A and B are shown apart, each in its own frame.
Chain A
Amino acid sequence: MDDISTTAPADSATSPAPVAPTAPTAAPAAAADSIVAVDNLVKRYGDVVALDHFNLTIAPGEIFGLLGPNGSGKTTAINCILQLLTFDKGAIRLFGAPMTPTRYDLKRKIGVVPQNVALFDELTVRENIDFFCALYVDDRRERARLVGEAIEFVGLGDYTGFRPRKLSGGLLRRLNIACGIAHKPQLAFFDEPTVAVDPQSRAAILEGIRAMNERGCTVVYTSHYMEEVEEICSRIMIMDRGRAVAVGTNGELKAMVGAGERIMVEVAGLSPAVRERLAALPHVRRVTYSEPELAVQCEQGARNVADVLAVLAAEGCAPGRVYAEPPTLNDVFLEITGKELRD
Chain B
Amino acid sequence: MATLFVSTLRALVREKALFIWSLIFPLIMATMFMFLFVTIDDMTDYDPVPTGVVADEAWDESPFSGVAAALGEVGDDQLLVLRSFADEEEAREALIAGEVAGVLSVNGEGEPVLAVAPGVKINPTADGDAINRSILESVVATYGRDADLMRAIAEADPRAFADPARLAEAFDGSAVTEEVALTHGAPKQSVRFYYALFAMAALFGAQIAVCAVCWTQPNLSPLGARRALGAIGRTRTLAATLAACWLLSFGCLVVAFLYTRFVVGVDFAGREGWCVVGLAGAALVACALGTALGSLPKIDFGSKTGILTGVVCLLSLFTGLYGEPCMALADTVARDFPLLSSLNPAKAICDVFYSLYYYDGLDVFAGNMVVLGAFAVALFALSALFMRRQRYASL
How far, in angstroms, from A77 to B228 measured CA to CA in the complex? 16
Residues A118 and B7 in contact, CB atoms below 8 Å apart: no
Nearest opposing residue in chain B for A128, CB measure: B7
Chain B 376-395 interface mask (CB, 8 Å, partner A; 1/0):
00000000000000111111
Residues B225 and A118 in contact, CB atoms below 8 Å apart: yes
Residues A114 and B222 in contact, CB atoms below 8 Å apart: yes
Chain A 98-122 interface mask (CB, 8 Å, partner B; 1/0):
0001101101101010101111111
- Does A293 interact with chain B (Cβ within 8 Å)? no
- Does A274 interact with chain B (Cβ within 8 Å)? no
Contact residues, B1-39 vs A (CB, 8 A): 3-4, 7, 10-12, 14-15
Residues A84 and B395 in contact, CB atoms below 8 Å apart: yes
Chain A 117-156 interface mask (CB, 8 Å, partner B; 1/0):
1111111000100111011100010000000000000000
Nearest opposing residue in chain B for A82, CB measure: B229
Segment from B116-124, B189-197, B230-238 that makes contact with A: B230-238
- Does B184 interact with chain A (Cβ within 8 Å)? no
Report how many A-B pairs have Cβ atoms within 8 Å: 87
- Does A15 interact with chain B (Cβ within 8 Å)? no
Q: Which of B10, B12, B218, B221 contacts A127 (CB 8 A)?
A: B10
Residues B390 and A101 in contact, CB atoms below 8 Å apart: yes
Q: Which one of A86, A107, A135, A179 has the highest number of Cβ atoms from chain B below 10 Å of its Cβ?
A: A135
Q: Contacts A120-B11, A120-B215: A83 and B390 contacting too (C-beta < 8 A)?
A: yes
Measured CB to CB, the closest approach of chain A to B20, in angstroms, equals 15
Residues A135 and B227 in contact, CB atoms below 8 Å apart: yes
Chain B residues lying within 8 Å of A82, measured Cβ to Cβ, are: 229
Chain A residues lying within 8 Å of B12, measured Cβ to Cβ, are: 122
Chain A residues lying within 8 Å of B232, measured Cβ to Cβ, are: 104, 135
Residues B392 and A107 in contact, CB atoms below 8 Å apart: no
Q: Which of A105, A120, A132 contacts B230 (CB 8 A)?
A: A132
Q: Which of A105, A114, A134 contacts B7 (CB 8 A)?
A: A134
Nearest opposing residue in chain B for A105, CB measure: B231
Chain B residues lying within 8 Å of A132, measured Cβ to Cβ, are: 226, 230
How far, in angstroms, from A110 to B230 measured CA to CA in the complex? 8
Nearest opposing residue in chain A for B223, CB measure: A118
Nearest opposing residue in chain B for A140, CB measure: B3
Nearest opposing residue in chain A for B393, CB measure: A86
Residues B392 and A86 in contact, CB atoms below 8 Å apart: yes
Measured CB to CB, the closest approach of chain A to B1, in angstroms, equals 9
Q: Which of B3, B392, B394 contacts A131 (CB 8 A)?
A: B3
Residues B7 and A112 in contact, CB atoms below 8 Å apart: no
Residues B226 and A85 in contact, CB atoms below 8 Å apart: no
Chain B residues lying within 8 Å of A120, measured Cβ to Cβ, are: 7, 11, 215, 223
Measured CB to CB, the closest approach of chain B to A298, in angstroms, equals 44
Chain A residues lying within 8 Å of B226, measured Cβ to Cβ, are: 112, 114, 118, 132, 179
Could you give 6 example pairs across A and B, Cβ below 8 Å?
A: A85-B391, A104-B232, A104-B233, A114-B222, A116-B225, A120-B7
